[in-house]
Amino acid sequence: MPHLLFRGVPAERLQSVAEPLVEQLAVICDCGTDNFTMNCVHATNVFGALPGDPAFAFVEVGWFERGRDVRDRFAAAVTRYVSQLDIPEVEIVFHAYREDSYYINGKPVE
Amino acid sequence: MPHLLFRGVPAERLQSVAEPLVEQLAVICDCGTDNFTMNCVHATNVFGALPGDPAFAFVEVGWFERGRDVRDRFAAAVTRYVSQLDIPEVEIVFHAYREDSYYINGKPVE
Amino acid sequence: MPHLLFRGVPAERLQSVAEPLVEQLAVICDCGTDNFTMNCVHATNVFGALPGDPAFAFVEVGWFERGRDVRDRFAAAVTRYVSQLDIPEVEIVFHAYREDSYYINGKPVE
């Protein structure tokens, strides 16, 4: 946590910026880098971009809400690093988890 | 936006109806077709249908809430087109994004 | 419904516990086993665990809210079975669907 799920970003390209991106996000969130996970979901684009055309990245962030300022800086950092991968359009949606609905090893977080 | 994420629908089959489906959804939502994305997620079914048996499609729609009437017509259109692919069961869930939690190129939508 | 989506769990391993897990979840939820679906999403881990190291499983459960007691027992059962697959860390998030935003074959559930 936070969990970042990327669609439209090839894993090997994301790999090249993963380390500095997570380091920056850890500073923004004031937590350790070992809290983060980043995954590239395998999906086939059927509409919205040419197949194989990495013109559009969609990033879902699952986390516990940290407020507007942190969210803005988090989104700016993700956008900046993904843009470096020659992906000009980046959309990010944040999903705020409820603490009573999040379980680590069987125990709710709250 | 809206983003449609399909599970249990082979991409090449969805491709065959993607264009007319999006055109109809654009009319229902009163927006351009270039607002839509459609992706087929690669997943392995472990329980709930026989492997390789496309008996069940699950569709997640991420969007900004447009109200009951639009939602009903949106769901009806998706169901109708997916049914044409010989997939008799279609379940659809709508996720309403918060505008202050959705960022396009680093800027929140609201 | 409920829908379980696994990340970081190989499908063939999950297969080995799917049947008893779903049977137990059906008891906990007081419904038939045919209400459940279980899918393994194909994703490439880019940060958060070594590639190919199944040290961490993330499970998303989409359902209609059933309250704290059922949720606790549901999470405990999923955690117990996934742990048997030599995956020591399991995180589970529950997404409560709104009944007016869930459509089965074109009809809202509510």
CA distance A96 to A61: 8
Residue A52: the pLDDT is 52
On the question of pLDDT at C62 being above 70, the answer is yes
Residue C102: the pLDDT is 97
What does pTM read for this prediction?
Answer: 0.94
Domains of chain C, CATH where assigned: 3-108 (3.30.429.10)
Which of A18, A42, A102 is nearest residue C46 as measured by Cβ atoms?
Answer: A18
Q: Which residues of B touch C38 (CB under 8 A)?
A: 45-48
CA distance A15 to A19: 8
Helix (H/G/I), strand (E/B), else coil: C103? strand
Is residue A43 less than 8 Å (CB to CB) from chain B?
yes
CB B63 within 8 A of CB B1: yes
Which of B58, B72, B90 is nearest residue C108 as measured by Cβ atoms?
Answer: B72
- Does C79 contact A41 at a Cβ distance shorter than 8 Å? no
> What is the Cα Rg of chain A in Å?
14
CB A63 within 8 A of CB A3: yes
- Does A97 contact C93 at a Cβ distance shorter than 8 Å? yes
Chains that touch B (3 or more CB pairs under 8 A): A, C
Residues 6+ apart with CB under 8 A from B89: B55, B56, B57, C104, C105
Is residue A55 less than 8 Å (CB to CB) from chain B?
no
Quote the ipTM score: 0.93
- Does A5 contact C43 at a Cβ distance shorter than 8 Å? yes
pLDDT, tens digit, for every residue of A53-78? Answer: 557 899 999 999 999 999 999 999 99
The mean per-residue pLDDT over the stretch C80-100 comes to 94
CB C84 within 8 A of CB B79: no
Task: Give how far C104 is from chain A: nearest CA, Å.
Answer: 23
pLDDT, tens digit, for every residue of C7-58? Answer: 989 999 999 999 999 999 999 999 999 889 999 999 998 987 655 555 789 9
Q: What is the mean pLDDT of chain C?
A: 92
Burial class (CB within 10 angstroms; exposed 0-12, middle 13-18, buried 19+) of B67: exposed
Nearest CA to A83 among A21, A28, A37, A4? A21
**Nearest residue on chain A to B21, alpha-carbon basis:** A47
Task: Give how far A69 is from chain C: nearest CA, Å.
Answer: 24
| Phi, psi dihedral angles at A91 (to 5 degrees) | -120, 140
CB C3 within 8 A of CB C63: yes
Helix (H/G/I), strand (E/B), else coil: A62? strand
CA distance C101 to C109: 8
Which of A46, A76, A89 is nearest residue B40 as measured by Cβ atoms?
Answer: A46
Is residue A31 less than 8 Å (CB to CB) from chain C?
no
Is residue A9 less than 8 Å (CB to CB) from chain B?
no
- Does C106 contact B79 at a Cβ distance shorter than 8 Å? yes
Which residues does chain B have with pLDDT short of 50? Answer: none
**Nearest residue on chain B to C39, alpha-carbon basis:** B45
Helices (H), chain B: 11-29, 68-83
The mean per-residue pLDDT over the stretch C76-93 comes to 95
